Amino acid sequence: MSSAEEIKSKLDIVDVLREYIQVKAVGANFQALCPFHREKSPSFVISPDKQIWHCFGCGKGGDVLSFVQEMEGLSFPDTLRLLAPKAGVILKYESSQEYSKRGRILDCLQAAAKQGQYWLENDATGKKMKAYLLKRGLTEETLKEWQVGYNPDTWTAMIEYLRTQKFKDEEIFAAGLAGRSDRGSAYDRFRDRITFPIKDVSGNIIAFTARINPDKEQTIPGGKYINSPQTDVYDKSRVLFALDKAKKAIKERGFAIVVEGQMDAIACHQHGFSNAVASSGTALTAEQLLLLKRFTNNLALSFDMDNAGQLAADRGIREAMALDINLKIITLSEEYKDPDQCLQANPEDFKQAVINSRPVMEYYFDKITTGKDLSKLVDKKEVVRLMLNMIVKLANKIDQEFWFKRLAESTGVSEQILRESVVVSKSTSGQTVPKTEIKAPVVAEATVNRDERLADILLAILLKAPTYIPYATSHLEPEDILLENLSQFYKNLIIYYNKFDVLEYDSFRLYLQEQDDKSIDIVDRLALLAERDYYDYDDNALKSELSKVLLELKRFSLKRRIKKLQDQIGIAEAGSDKIDINDLMTEIKNLTEQLNSLHSL
pLDDT for the residue numbered 95: 45
Number of domains in the chain: 4
H or E, element range at 127: helix 124-135
> Is residue 434 one of the residues assigned to a domain?
no
Angle at 401 between CA 397 and CA 402, to 5 degrees: 120
> Is residue 331 one of the residues assigned to a domain?
yes
Parallel, antiparallel or unpaired: strands 193-199 and 205-212: antiparallel
Residue 156 sits in the same domain as residue 260? no
φ, ψ for residue 551, nearest 5 deg: -60, -45
> Is residue 443 one of the residues assigned to a domain?
no
Instruction: Write down which residue in 42, 67, 97 finishes a domain.
Output: 97
Q: In this structure, what CATH number is given to the domain that contains residue 216?
A: 3.90.980.10
Q: Is 359 helix (H, G, I), strand (E, B) or coil?
A: strand
Q: Is 370 helix (H, G, I), strand (E, B) or coil?
A: coil
Residue 129 sits in the same domain as residue 48? no
Residue 260 sits in the same domain as residue 330? yes
Angle at 55 between CA 51 and CA 56, to 5 degrees: 125
* DSSP letter assigned to residue 40: S
Instruction: Write down which residue in 97, 115, 145 finishes a domain.
Output: 97
Phi-psi region of 137 (alpha: psi -120 to 50; beta: other; left: phi over 0): left
Distance between terminal CA atoms of the chain? 47
Residue 150 sits in the same domain as residue 60? no
Residue 452 sits in the same domain as residue 327? no
Q: DSSP string covering 221-282, please? A: -S-SEEEPPP-SS--GGG--BTHHHHHHHHHHHT-EEEESSHHHHHHHHHTT-TTEEE-TTS
Are 158 and 111 contacting, i.e. CB atoms less than 8 angstroms apart?
no
Mean pLDDT in consecutive groups of 10 residues from the start of the chain, 601 residues: 85 91 89 89 91 90 92 82 88 57 90 98 97 95 97 96 95 95 90 96 91 87 85 91 93 93 95 95 85 90 67 74 92 91 95 96 91 92 91 90 94 92 59 34 45 90 92 92 89 89 85 74 87 86 92 90 85 67 84 82 63
Angstrom distance (rounded) from CA 601 to CA 595:
12
Residue 195 sits in the same domain as residue 248? no
Is the alpha carbon torsion for 528, 531, 532, 537 positive or negative? positive
Going by C-alpha positions, the residue among 151, 196, 149, 167 that lies closest to residue 107 is: 167
Are 68 and 74 contacting, i.e. CB atoms less than 8 angstroms apart?
yes
pLDDT for the residue numbered 307: 61
Instruction: Write down which residue in 186, 204, 234 finishes a domain.
Output: 234
Are 451 and 411 contacting, i.e. CB atoms less than 8 angstroms apart?
no
Q: In this structure, what CATH number is given to the domain that contains residue 589?
A: 1.10.860.10
Host domain of residue 208? 100-234
Q: What CA–CA distances, in Å, run from 338 to 169, 182, 268, 295?
A: 39, 38, 11, 25
CA atoms in the 13 A half-sphere facing the CB of 166: 3
Max intra-chain CA distance, the chain: 104
pLDDT for the residue numbered 425: 53
